[in-house]
Amino acid sequence: MYAVLTTGGKQYKVTHGDVLRVEKLEAPVGESIEIGAVNLVAKDDGIVARKEDLENAKVVCDVLRQGRGKKIRVFKFKRRKGYKRTVGHRQDYTELRVREILV
C-alpha cells in the first residue's frame, strides 16, 4: 500500500515506515502530524483516486527532526561588465516518518 501526498508544493510517494524530507512544517520534534492532502492511494485491491473517496484520507507521520539542508552557492556573472555576485542559501526542512495511511 502506498499513497501520493502533496506538501510544500511538491508531491511524494510514501509507504508505511518511509522517512522523507519535506519543506519546513511548524511542528515540534516528536509530535505526530496528519497530512490531509492525499492525491492517490494504491491498495492491494486497486487504486483510489476519486476526489470524493479521498476527502477523508490522510497520512499520519511522526516528526523526527527539523534541520537545514546543504548550502548551495548562487553565482551571478555578466561577462565584460565586471559584475559578479555570490549568494549562499540553506533550505529548511522537516524530516518525517510515515506511521500509517488512512483511507
Percent of the chain scored above 90 by pLDDT? 94
Domain boundaries, the chain: 2-102
Name the band, by pLDDT with cuts 50, 70 and 90, for residue 84: very high
Contact present, 8 and 91 (Cβ < 8 Å): no
In whole angstroms, what is the distance from residue 80 CA to residue 82 CA? 6
pTM for the full predicted model = 0.84
Q: What is the mean pLDDT of residues 9-30?
A: 96
State yes or no: pLDDT of 17 exceeds 90: yes
In whole angstroms, what is the distance from residue 81 CA to residue 24 CA? 38
Residue with cell 522523507: 20
Q: What is the pLDDT of residues 23-69, one digit of tens each?
A: 999 999 999 999 999 999 999 999 999 999 899 999 999 999 999 99
C-alpha closest to that of 49 among 59, 38, 58: 38
